[in-house]
Amino acid sequence: MAGSRSLSQRISEGDGIAIIVWVQDADSARAAEVQGAKAVAVERPVAGIREATSLPLLWLGDADPADADAQTIRPDHQPSHADVERVVAVYDEEELEVALERHDPEILLLSSRGGDGDEDQLDAVLELLPDVPAGKLAIAQVDVETRGEVLALERAGIDAVLVRGGDVAALVGARPPEV
């Protein structure tokens, strides 16, 4: 895994919260990078994605990761490839405890997807955050629509947010410097 494609490194570098964009095609990945995303996520193989972006690729799908730099797994599963970063997806306190004991992951994906439906997505994710040990990276999987919502996650201590495509630049805020 090349250092420039390390998900944990990209999330950690620079100031502020990192935006990870869930993309469906290579053009969306290219646009996300131009607009300031720190990584892209896919749930199925995407033709031409490696040529379209230099960003780390987070695999969200259940099958073997296709050329990914990081892979989400559930607390009760093992990663299918040892050469990719593990991102353990948790939905509640019990799963978080299992994930920490079983995997000791560097990155946790905090999601409300498994919640009871009555609880606000953001509240469900933020309730998990105090149980994330210092030194671990926390990615929130919540629907955000504004820069204000992104900044609220940042103030709470979230390191990155996984968002669906769209106006990534508006979520990122200040345009990143040209490199």
Spatial neighbors of 160 by CB under 8 A, at least 6 apart, are 11, 17, 18, 19, 20, 38, 39, 137, 138, 139, 140
- pLDDT tens digits along 116-148: 555 677 888 999 999 999 999 999 999 888 899
pTM over 0.75: yes
66-93: per-residue pLDDT in tens? 788 999 999 988 777 778 899 999 999 9
What 8-state DSSP symbol labels residue 63? S
Decide if 99 contacts 90 (C-beta within 8 A): yes
Domains and CATH numbers, the chain: 3-172 (3.20.20.70)
pLDDT of residue 45 exceeding 50, the answer is yes
Report the chain's terminal Cα–Cα distance, integer Å: 21
